[in-house]
Amino acid sequence: MAKYMEIAKEIEEAIREGKYPPNSRLPSLTVLAKQLTCSKGTIIQAYAQLQKAHLIYVKAQSGYYVASNNMPFFQESEQIRLDTGNPAVSLTSLYDAKHCMSLAIEHYSESSLDVSIEGVHSLRQLLPGFLVESGIYARLEDIYLVQGITQMLSFLSETTFPNQGEYILIEEPTYSYYVQFLKEQGLPVLTITRDALGIDLKDLERLMQTYPIKFFYTIPRAHNPLGTTLSSKTRKKIAELAVRYQVYIIEDDYFASCAQSKRYLPIYYYAQGKYCIYLTSFTKIIPYIRIGICVIHPEFQKIYQQLVAQSYYFSYQHPSLISQATLESYLRSQLYHKQVESITQHFKPYYAMLKKVSASWDPQLARMTGDFNCYYVSVLLHPGISISRLEKRLLQHHIRIARNERCFYDLSHFNHSLRIGIARVRLEDLQMALERFYAIVENEYAHHLSKKAANKAA
């Protein structure tokens, strides 16, 4: 990395951390060049880089100042947000985003809004090559652009599939918003347990043999809320069972670009696309746009196209034209890969911190599950520790966590766990929050023991 880029990055981090408050004056060219033992020209280049990102501005005859619209890194309030996996917009280069949006607006200035149900053709032409990087070998006509995974899940859940199946099979725990949707719609649901080791394949086969299942919804890697990845053996077996019992798989690979899983191949690959609908999203990587990809085997396409065309009168399945055009600009300019690399490098020390801090925990009290390659991990707590009391005490310290009850369709299956997200927290705050979290866990366990002893004495 060029010297001026290193300096720009250091100054940006200092701004995000509040070392230089909004509207404060930055060190002069002479002072900073002397401090960093470099030329004034290098500092000018660094400041120019920060100006492009709209982080600083210059006053004639005065110097460089921090832009007033820059809040301290990730701060929306005084709370430490461990309860969300939605990345802060500041993780995306504002300069890159504005560049891509400008190109998109210019390129499509003469286009109409009459886009096919598959999406903008010029963008779709890029997607077969893009998907190969994730192990998805699909033809152009198999690929559809959609608003997002959540919208597609709700759409597909109420669709009659070619296998005429009745039940929707889901993992427990799983994506909380989908669980709530299924409950609200009163759709017939079956569940299978998912834990740190994966799922019971014999139980999966029993369910597929016994019940008329429409589809099995699974998040094979970067699981929400567990943060785990199914083994290649399990993914192969799921593909085999799907074809054998004609049960569709809806494979939610929302974090495909950033989940660094060695030699990972999706279920879609092992099934060669048969009885498999593959979903992925760009929203976790570029929060400015809401857009995803749906890959559908030819056997299901005619039905899908008819349903999408009919649904136009009730809901809009397509991402906006500007979202599609912006994504196309990102992919054509290679800025998407730059963004992925930026996020990957940013969170590496976070994963190391999670491992380091949790290594000293008593696993009988709190055990962290996850592969440390995405925005989530789960923590299994001792059953005697009250999650409600723990949550209240953490809030007193301005720390928010996510309870996992909402990720279970059947609350009687709840495994006494909670989820920790790292997408919107500073690294130093993460360490402090985890240490405070475990200290409170220990106190709550001591409270449980004393209460138990008191009840026994009584």
Residue range 408-415: mean pLDDT, rounded: 96
Q: Mean pLDDT check: name the lowest of 20-29, 30-39, 318-327.
A: 318-327
Residue 367: per-residue pLDDT: 97
Q: What pLDDT score was predicted for residue 35? A: 87
What is the model's pLDDT at position 71? Answer: 42
Residues in a beta bridge with 367: 380
- The token duo for 333 is 């300019």
Q: What is the pLDDT of residues 344-384, one digit of tens each?
A: 888 999 999 999 999 999 999 999 999 998 999 999 999 99
Least confident of 116-120, 139-143, 357-361, 394-398: 116-120
What type of residue is 145?
A: L
The whole-number pLDDT of residue 49 equals 81
Higher pLDDT, 342 or 413: 413
Mean pLDDT, rounded, of the chain: 88
Domains of the chain: 3-66 (1.10.10.10), 94-335 (3.40.640.10), 340-457 (3.90.1150.10)
Largest CA distance in the chain: 81
pLDDT in tens, 423-446: 999 888 999 999 999 999 999 999
**Percent of the chain's residues with pLDDT above 70:** 92
Partner residues linked to 377 by β-bridges: 420
In this structure, are residues 289 and 147 in contact, taking their beta carbons and an 8 Å threshold?
Answer: no
Q: Is the pLDDT of residue 385 over 50?
A: yes
Quick one: average pLDDT of 283-306?
85
Per-residue pLDDT band for 74 (boundaries 50, 70, 90) equals: very low
Residues 310, 425: Cα–Cα separation, whole Å: 42
- The pLDDT of residue 406 is 95
Question: Backbone phi, then psi, for 254, in 5-degree steps?
Answer: -60, -25
Both tokens of residue 48?
């120019």
Residue 86 burial (CB count, 10 A): 13
Best CA proximity match to 146, nearest among 290, 302, 253: 290
Average the pLDDT over each of 48-52, 192-196, 259-263 and give the range with the smallest value: 259-263
- pLDDT in the model for residue 333: 87
Higher pLDDT, residue 191 or 61: 191
Please name which of 133, 120, 161, 171 lies closest in space to residue 297, comparing C-alpha atoms.
Answer: 161
Mean pLDDT, rounded, for 47-74: 72
Residue 310 pLDDT class (50, 70, 90 cuts): low
SS (H, E, C) 243-278: HHHCCEEEEECCCCCCCCCCCCCCHHHHHCCCCEEE
* Residue 366 · residue 380 · CB < 8 Å: yes
Asked if the model's pLDDT at residue 313 lies above 50, the reply is no
Task: Compare 86 and 227 and report the one with higher pLDDT.
Answer: 227
Q: Is the pLDDT of residue 76 over 50?
A: no
Give tens-digit pLDDT for 134-189.
899 999 999 988 888 888 898 899 888 999 999 999 999 999 999 999 999 999 99
What is the C-alpha separation between 297 and 295, in angstroms, rounded? 7
Give buried/exposed letters for 188-223 (b at 16+ CB in 10 A, else e): ebbbbebbeebbeeeebbebbeebebbbbbbbbbbb
Distance CA 396, CA 176 (A): 25
Mean pLDDT of 306-326: 70
Q: 316 falls in which pLDDT band (50, 70, 90)?
A: low
Rounded average pLDDT over 31-36? 88
Say how far apart CA 402 and CA 424 lie, in whole Å. 13
- At 65 the pLDDT is 86
DSSP conformation class of 25: B
Structure-block tokens of residue 97: 């985003």
pLDDT given for residue 260 in this prediction? 67
- Map tokens 């998040």 to a residue: 219
CA dist., res. 148 & res. 153, Å (int): 9
Tokens of 345: 């490098």
Instruction: Reply yes or no on whether the pLDDT at 77 is more than 70.
Output: no
pLDDT at residue number 311: 62
Query: Which positions ≥6 away from 317 have C-beta within 8 Å?
Result: 117, 146, 147, 151, 152, 155, 308, 311
What's the length of the chain?
458
Mean pLDDT, rounded, for 315-326: 75
Please compute the mean of the pLDDT values over residues 313-339 and round it to a whole number: 80
Between 292 and 75, the higher pLDDT residue:
292
Q: For the segment 199-257, what is each residue's pLDDT rounded down to a tens digit?
A: 999 999 999 999 999 999 999 999 999 999 999 999 999 999 999 999 999 999 998 88
Asked whether residue 324 carries a pLDDT value surpassing 80, the answer given is: yes
Q: What average pLDDT score do residues 291-317 get? A: 74
Specify the pLDDT at position 72: 41
3-state SS, residue 419: strand
